[in-house]
C-alpha cells in the first residue's frame, strides 16, 4: 500500500523579534498577563512588504534540501494560509513559479489553524490515488498585517519614539489586545514522498468542521457580502481585524482536540502511551497543557514553541515538526500525533510514523 512519508521539512522565521514588553509600549498589557494567560514570550514580525509566499519559499527550499528532492520531481503543491499575499490568485501558484517548479497542480486551502492537517490529508489522498508521488505542503502566515496600528504605534514598538502614544490610538490598540498579542509571522514546509514500505508515513487522519459558530472567530469585513468588498468605513470599524471570543475558542479547542486525538488513537488500537510525541497546534500554552493532562501525556511526549513564536496558524505544526526533527526528538519510525483546532470551526488529528 502506498504511504505518504514526510521526507524533509523546513522553517522560515520572520526577522523582527517582538517581546511582550515591547507590546506594552503601545497598548494596555503586560509581560506578566501575556505569559500567564497564553505562555507567549516573544513573536516575530516580517518587514512591511514581505509576502506570505516569501516565507513559504524559504521554508520550502529548506524542506527540499533536507529531503534531497529535486525541484523537477515535485508534482503537487498545497499551500495552507489564511493570510495570502493578495485576494487572488493564491500563494500555491506563486510559490510554484518562485521555486521554478514544473506547472504542476497547486492548491490554496483555507482551514486556518487546522490548515496543515487538512493539507496533509489532501496530499495523502493524492498520493494514495496515484495522482502525485512527491508533494510540497506549505503552511505560512503573515499576521502582522492584521494589527490595526498606525505609524506611531509601529515606531514606539520598535523603540524609535519614546513619547506616549496618542490616547485615541492607545484605546484602539487596547481594544483588540486579547487577539494581537497572540500572533506571529512564520512559515513551515514539508516534502512528502510516496513510499511502498508500509512502516513509515501517514497512518490515519480524523478531520472535522462545523460552521455553526464560525462568527466566534472570523474576519467580519473585507468579503464579498459587501459592495465594494472593502472600503475605508469597514477599516475604521476594525472589521479587517479578526474578532475572537477567546473563552469560547479556549473551551472548544481543549474539548475538540482531546476528542479528535482519542478517536484517532482508539480506531488505530493505540493508547496515548504508545506515542513518541504529540505536536499540538500552538494557540495557547494553557490549551495545550489542558489537552496534555486530559490525554495523560508525559512532559517528554509533548513539545511546545509558542513561547518563542506565538500562534503562527497554518505554520505551527510544520514548525514544530521541523524543530523536533532537526533537534533529534523525532526519528524515523516514531509514532507522532498531530492535533489542531482553528477558525471555521475546524479541527482534527493526524497519526504519522515518522
Q: Per CB under 6 A, which of residues 104..163 are in contact with ligand COA?
A: 113
Nearest to 117 by CA among 169, 157, 80, 158: 80
Which of the stretches 4-12, 198-206, 279-287, 331-339 binds ligand COA when contact is defined by CB under 6 A?
279-287
Let me know: does 113 contact 342? Beta carbons within 8 Å. yes
Which of the stretches 33-41, 85-93, 195-203, 205-213 binds ligand COA when contact is defined by CB under 6 A?
33-41
C-beta closer to ligand COA: residue 220 or 246: 246
Let me know: does 211 contact 344? Beta carbons within 8 Å. yes
Q: Establish if 33 lies at the interface with ligand COA (CB under 6 A).
A: yes
C-beta closer to ligand COA: residue 63 or 345: 345
Q: Per CB under 6 A, which of residues 320..349 are in contact with ligand COA?
A: 341-342
The site for ligand COA, by CB under 6 A, has a size of 22
User: Which residue among the candidates 143, 281, 303, 324 is catalytic per the annotation?
Assistant: 281
Q: Per CB under 6 A, which of residues 283..302 are in contact with ligand COA?
A: 283-284, 287
User: Which residue among the candidates 20, 91, 113, 288 is catalytic per the annotation?
Assistant: 113
Q: Establish if 316 lies at the interface with ligand COA (CB under 6 A).
A: no
Residue nearest to ligand COA (CB): 246
C-beta closer to ligand COA: residue 76 or 181: 181
Q: Of residues 181, 186, 191, 202, which one binds ligand COA by CB under 6 A?
A: 181
113 has catalytic annotation: yes
Give the torsion sign (CA, 83, 349, 300, 190). Answer: negative
Q: Establish if 170 lies at the interface with ligand COA (CB under 6 A).
A: no
Let me know: does 191 contact 324? Beta carbons within 8 Å. no
State phi, psi for 183 to the nearest 5 degrees: -105, 150
240 has catalytic annotation: no
C-beta closer to ligand COA: residue 201 or 242: 242
Binding site for ligand COA (CB under 6 A): 29, 33-34, 37-38, 113, 177-178, 181, 217, 244, 246-247, 249-250, 253, 283-284, 287, 311, 341-342
Residues known to be catalytic: 113, 281, 311
Amino acid at each position: 500500500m502506498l504511504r505518504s512519508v514526510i521526507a524533509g521539512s523546513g522553517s522560515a522565521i520572520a526577522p523582527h523579534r517582538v517581546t511582550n514588553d515591547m507590546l506594552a509600549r503601545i497598548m494596555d498589557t503586560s509581560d506578566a498577563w501575556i505569559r500567564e494567560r497564553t505562555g507567549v514570550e516573544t513573536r516575530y514580525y516580517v518587514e512591511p512588504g514581505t509576502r506570505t509566499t516569501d516565507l513559504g519559499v524559504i521554508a520550502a527550499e529548506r524542506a527540499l534540501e533536507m529531503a534531497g528532492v529535486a525541484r523537477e520531481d515535485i508534482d503537487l503543491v498545497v499551500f495552507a494560509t489564511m493570510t495570502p499575499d493578495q485576494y487572488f490568485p493564491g500563494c500555491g501558484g506563486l510559490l510554484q513559479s518562485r521555486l521554478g517548479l514544473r506547472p504542476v497542480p497547486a492548491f490554496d486551502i483555507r482551514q486556518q489553524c487546522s490548515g496543515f492537517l487538512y493539507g496533509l490529508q489532501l496530499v495523502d489522498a493524492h498520493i494514495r490515488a496515484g495522482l502525485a508521488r512527491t508533494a510540497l505542503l506549505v503552511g505560512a502566515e503573515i499576521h502582522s498585517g492584521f494589527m490595526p496600528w498606525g505609524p506611531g504605534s509601529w515606531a514606539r514598538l520598535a523603540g524609535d519614539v519614546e513619547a506616549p502614544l496618542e490616547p485615541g490610538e492607545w484605546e484602539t490598540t487596547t481594544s483588540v489586545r486579547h487577539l494581537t498579542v497572540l500572533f506571529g509571522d512564520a512559515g513551515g514546509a514539508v516534502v512528502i514522498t510516496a513510499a511502498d514500505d508500509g512502516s513509515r508515513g501517514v497512518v490515519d487522519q480524523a478531520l472535522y468542521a462545523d460552521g455553526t459558530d464560525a462568527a466566534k472567530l472570523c474576519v467580519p469585513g473585507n468579503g464579498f457580502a459587501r459592495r465594494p468588498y472593502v472600503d475605508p468605513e469597514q477599516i475604521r470599524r476594525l472589521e479587517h481585524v479578526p474578532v475572537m471570543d477567546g473563552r469560547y475558542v479556549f473551551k472548544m479547542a481543549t474539548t475538540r482536540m482531546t476528542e479528535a486525538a482519542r478517536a484517532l488513537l482508539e480506531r488505530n488500537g493505540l493508547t496515548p502511551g504508545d506515542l513518541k510525541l504529540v505536536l499540538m497546534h500552538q494557540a495557547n500554552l494553557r490549551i495545550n497543557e489542558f489537552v496534555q493532562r486530559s490525554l495523560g501525556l508525559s512532559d517528554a511526549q509533548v513539545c511546545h514553541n509558542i513561547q518563542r513564536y506565538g500562534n503562527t496558524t497554518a505554520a505551527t505544526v510544520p514548525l514544530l515538526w521541523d524543530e523536533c526533527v532537526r533537534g533529534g526528538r523525532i526519528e524515523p519510525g516514531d509514532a507522532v500525533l498531530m492535533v489542531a483546532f482553528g477558525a471555521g470551526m475546524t479541527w482534527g488529528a493526524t497519526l504519522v510514523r515518522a
